[in-house]
Structure formats: C-alpha cells, structure tokens
Copies of this chain bind each other. A is one copy, B any other.
Amino acid sequence: MEDTHQTAGGAAGRIVPALTRVEQVMQAVRERIAARALAAGARVPSIRAMSEQMGVSKSTVVEAYERLVAEGALAARRGSGFFVAGQGAALARGKIGMVGMSGMSTMPGPKIDRAIDPLWLTRQSLETDARALRPGCGWLPAAWLPQEAVRRALRAIARDPRAQLTDYATPLGLPALRQQLAWRLGQHGIEAAPEQIVLTDGGSQALDILCRFLLEPGDTVVVDDPCYFNFQALLGVHRVQVVSVPYTPTGPDLAAFERVLATHRPRLYVTNSAIHNPTGATLAPAIAHRLLKLAEEHDLLIVEDDIFADFETDPAPRLAAFDGLARVVTIGSFSKTMTAAARCGYIAARADWIEPLVDLKLAVSFGNGELAADLVQRLLVDGTYRRYLDGLRAQLADAMGETLRRLASAGLTAWTRPQAGMLLWAQLPGGLDAAQVAREALAHGVVLAPGNVFSVTRNAASFLRFNVSQCNRPKVYETLQRAMERAATPA
C-alpha cells in the first residue's frame, strides 16, 4: 500500500470525475432512444450489462439511470428495472423484442426478465416460491440431502466441549479437514499435502480468490461451450475477456482449443473435472493428456472445479492428477453433495502459491467459517457421508434412466448419456427456442434452464439442462409439453 499511496498524488490527473462517467452513460441511453434502438416502454440494459458495455462501475450506471428518471426520459419500476418513458409505454412493453446487449427480454415482471442472462437461472432457482418445481435447478432437493446426518453433526458440535464455537479459523483453515481432503484428493490421484489446501466459504469463493491471484483485467480466459453459467458471471466481475471452446462428450474440442490458444493467448482455462456442468459428460484420459500438453506449450493455467466428484461411480481422470498440481489448480466444495447452508469449499494448489492465496483470502474475507468446516469434517470422518453417497448414486442412476425415458417420449434428444450425477443436457425438437419454452414454463411454476444461459456464444438456443433429481413429478413433463406447444405457435 505504501507505494500505492506515494503515487496517489501523481494519479490524481488520471482520474476522470464521476460526474463525467455518469453523463457518458446518460448520453449513450439518450442516443439509443433517439435512434429508436430503445422504443417507448422498452427495458434499458441491466445495470450490470450497461456497466460492462460502458466500462464503468455499476453505481455510475445506477446514478445515470436515476438522473434520466428525474429528467423523465426513463421510468423505474420497483423490482423490474428501468424502462423508456412515453405514451402507452406499459402497453407497448409486451410487443418489443430483445434490447441491446443485455440479453434481456422486455416482458414485464421481475421474475421473467432475465431470460438467458447467466444470473437469471441463479435468481430463479433461489427466488421462486417453494411450490415451484425446479427441473432446471443445479442442486439436489433438500429431501435428497443428508439432513439427519447434518442434524446429528450439529448436535455433536454443540455437545463437544473442545468444539471451537467463536474464534476465527487459522489462515489455511481447520487442519483436520485439510487432512481429510488431502486423503480424498489422493483417491483421485492428486498428490496434495494438507499444507497445499486452503479452505474457503464455498467453491465460488475458491474460484474468485484464484481469479484474483492468477488474472489481470484484460486477460483472456477459456471456458467450455457450454459451461457452468456462473463461471461467466464470476469472470465478468474480474473484467477479463472470455472465449469458449466447444465441449464434446469426451472433453473440449482440442482442435478448436489449439486455435483459441494461438489466437487469444489465454492465461487460464476454467472447467469442471469429474462430471461436466451442464452436459454431464466426462473427460477421456487421452483428451486430458493432450490438453495438458497444449497447456504446457502455450503456458496456460487451468482451474478444474471438482464439485461433482462425489457423484461419480467410475472416477474420470483429473487434470491435476496428470499434471501434479504444476499448472492445474483443483477446487471443490460440499455444497452440492452435503449441505449448501454451511458454506465450505477448498483450493488445492502448488505449494509456492499457497502463501499469496492465503494473503488474498484473509484480505477479502478474514478467513473461512470454522463452524462449517467442522461440520463437513465430522460428516466426512464418521462414515455417514460415505453410506449416504452409496444410496444417492443409486437413486440418481434410477432418476437418470427415468428422466431420459420421459424426455425422449416428450420429443427431446439427450446430447449424451451421463455416466453419473444429476445433470442431463437435452435438445428440444423442431428448433424450439429454449428461452421461450423456459419463460412459458416459469409462468406455470416450473423453472427450466435454457441452454444459452450456459453458452458464451449463445449457440445452445435449442437445449435445456435438466436436473434428474428434480424431474420426478409428472407436472414437470406436462408443463414442459404445454410450454413447447405454446412456443411452437407464433404469437
């Protein structure tokens, strides 16, 4: 900080007054309205989309929109954002198509607006009321999770006089859990000492800390197409260029990968190990090997998110195992297979990266929650979790078979038959638009996951991601059928 401070004076000239940034955004919106790119009643781009488009902070966009409302150019509707003001705006709203680059439709109402925005599905899955069905949701229903085991572990912590109930965790996190994780990673061929493992408050925080360590704004990052939608949202926060490589049933398309490496010189590749989100595919050993060779040739770093490890029946290869944690970092969490109410994730990385990673973790969070780590550790050691997983895998295999059958009879085609896990990537018939089908279904209380939420290139418009653990109710298929019919009939 000291040198930063010393240069602060010199930096003053470089700083554009906030007022000007605000006015730049106001002007951009006025111009779009003047050019009819935004008609009366049209939703203006979301705060986030506009701040990305203009390269300004979100608060600057908020201030600009607020001033435009004060001017009467825009109208704000609580919960559903900002619209172009004007006669019959409310009536016109329904008739206008997609607006700007924000990937948002202009249909009214807070819940249906986000369409294929990466955060749309997050909000839908987390917000929609309890009676809604969530075949598009990315996690297990509470009833499928080890509720009673978590309850017992909490009682055990409350009873344990040695339990650490009030203090901060040590910088790396609970040693007993890091030892467990080192052993578990070893089972997947990943050699990581407990001192190479840093605990975090979940897998997203693990990736966020790694991005801060590995990336500079403007760096390029490769993701799979399709990929876990929140990779896009998180990388967007880090102001990096995101490029994508088509994913195949055995891993990324290596020819396309090599082209991207040559053209964009990416710094980092972020992917899933074990079971790929959203496709449910698994990496083939030969692809893993060739991918690592390419990474070495082009000095590419890799983060593999192992969050679905415990769903696996036949373990897939881990890039970190082949690479020995040289240029590959493994992250994981127990939010999908144990509990998301106690956030606990981890980073396993090369020894000389741990110190700066811990510095970053402490600076931005002052350490992970020890209670969550203790809870996870107790479930891992007492055998309950292992027995639970055995039952869960069988349950998921049945649900996978059943969902594949029902979707086939509904006319959808599975892109691949996943070996394990809860995710299924399926294509709609007759070029139906998944975003449209998802909007129709949502209006009837069923949350679907349209393919373009997962696609950086937006080339998965006819795909849906299903979670087989959330697909056991007939209403899912009835609603899907009706939504497909409505999407098929021109408005």
Bound complex: CA of A375 vs CA of B158, how far in Å?
A: 12
- In the complex, whether A468 has a CB less than 8 A from a CB of chain B is no
The contact of A339 among B5, B48, B158, B166, by CB within 8 Å, is B166
- The residue on B at minimum CB distance from A22 is B299
Knowing A1-B456, A57-B215, A341-B370, say if A62 contacts B263 (CB, 8 Å): no
- In the complex, whether A316 has a CB less than 8 A from a CB of chain B is no
Knowing A1-B232, A126-B170, say if A356 contacts B204 (CB, 8 Å): no
- The residue on B at minimum CB distance from A10 is B241
Knowing A58-B213, A352-B62, A365-B208, say if A147 contacts B168 (CB, 8 Å): no
B residues near A263, Cβ cutoff 8 Å? 9, 12
- In the complex, whether A150 has a CB less than 8 A from a CB of chain B is yes
B residues near A217, Cβ cutoff 8 Å? 217
- In the complex, whether A230 has a CB less than 8 A from a CB of chain B is yes
Contact string against B for A residues 22-62, beta-carbon threshold 8 Å, 1 for contact and 0 otherwise: 00000000000000000000000001110011001111001
Contact string against B for A residues 146-175, beta-carbon threshold 8 Å, 1 for contact and 0 otherwise: 110011101101100001111111110000
- The residue on B at minimum CB distance from A125 is B168
CB of A238 to closest CB in B, whole Å: 9
Bound complex: CA of A372 vs CA of B359, how far in Å?
A: 24
Contact B101 A52 (CB under 8 A): no
Bound complex: CA of A201 vs CA of B4, how far in Å?
A: 28
- In the complex, whether A474 has a CB less than 8 A from a CB of chain B is no
CB of A98 to closest CB in B, whole Å: 11
Q: For residues 303 through 338 of chain A, which have their beta carbon under 8 Å from a beta carbon of chain B?
A: 335, 338
Knowing A2-B458, A58-B213, A58-B356, say if A11 contacts B218 (CB, 8 Å): yes
Knowing A48-B356, A215-B57, say if A167 contacts B142 (CB, 8 Å): yes
Bound complex: CA of A185 vs CA of B463, how far in Å?
A: 47
The contact of A12 among B17, B81, B265, B356, by CB within 8 Å, is B265
B residues near A284, Cβ cutoff 8 Å? none
Contact A52 B214 (CB under 8 A): no
Contact string against B for A residues 368-381, beta-carbon threshold 8 Å, 1 for contact and 0 otherwise: 11111011000000
Contact string against B for A residues 206-226, beta-carbon threshold 8 Å, 1 for contact and 0 otherwise: 001000111111111000000
- In the complex, whether A131 has a CB less than 8 A from a CB of chain B is no
Knowing A18-B299, A62-B353, A232-B1, say if A171 contacts B123 (CB, 8 Å): yes
B residues near A76, Cβ cutoff 8 Å? 352
- In the complex, whether A264 has a CB less than 8 A from a CB of chain B is yes
- In the complex, whether A342 has a CB less than 8 A from a CB of chain B is yes
Contact string against B for A residues 348-364, beta-carbon threshold 8 Å, 1 for contact and 0 otherwise: 00001101100110111
Contact B356 A369 (CB under 8 A): no
- In the complex, whether A255 has a CB less than 8 A from a CB of chain B is no
- The residue on B at minimum CB distance from A217 is B217
Contact string against B for A residues 51-89, beta-carbon threshold 8 Å, 1 for contact and 0 otherwise: 011001111001000100000000010000100000000
B residues near A366, Cβ cutoff 8 Å? 122, 202-204, 230, 335, 340
Bound complex: CA of A59 vs CA of B212, how far in Å?
A: 10
Bound complex: CA of A204 vs CA of B168, how far in Å?
A: 13
The contact of A367 among B5, B126, B234, B339, by CB within 8 Å, is B126
- In the complex, whether A108 has a CB less than 8 A from a CB of chain B is no
- In the complex, whether A127 has a CB less than 8 A from a CB of chain B is yes
- In the complex, whether A3 has a CB less than 8 A from a CB of chain B is yes
Knowing A3-B101, A201-B365, say if A340 contacts B168 (CB, 8 Å): yes
Knowing A151-B158, A201-B343, A339-B165, say if A353 contacts B52 (CB, 8 Å): no
- Measured CB to CB, the residues of A under 8 A from B are 1-5, 7-9, 11-12, 14-15, 17-19, 47-49, 52-53, 56-59, 62, 66, 76, 81, 101, 103, 118-119, 122-123, 126-127, 139, 142, 145-147, 150-152, 154-155, 157-158, 163-171, 201-205, 208, 212-220, 230, 232-237, 240-244, 263-265, 267, 299, 301, 335, 338-343, 352-353, 355-356, 359-360, 362-372, 374-375, 456-458
Rank and list the top 3 A-B pairs by shortest CB-CB distance, nearest first.
A233-B363, A145-B166, A154-B158
Enumerate 11 A-B pairs (CB-CB under 8 Å) in ascending A order. Answer: A5-B244, A14-B218, A47-B356, A127-B171, A167-B341, A168-B340, A233-B359, A335-B366, A340-B366, A341-B374, A342-B369
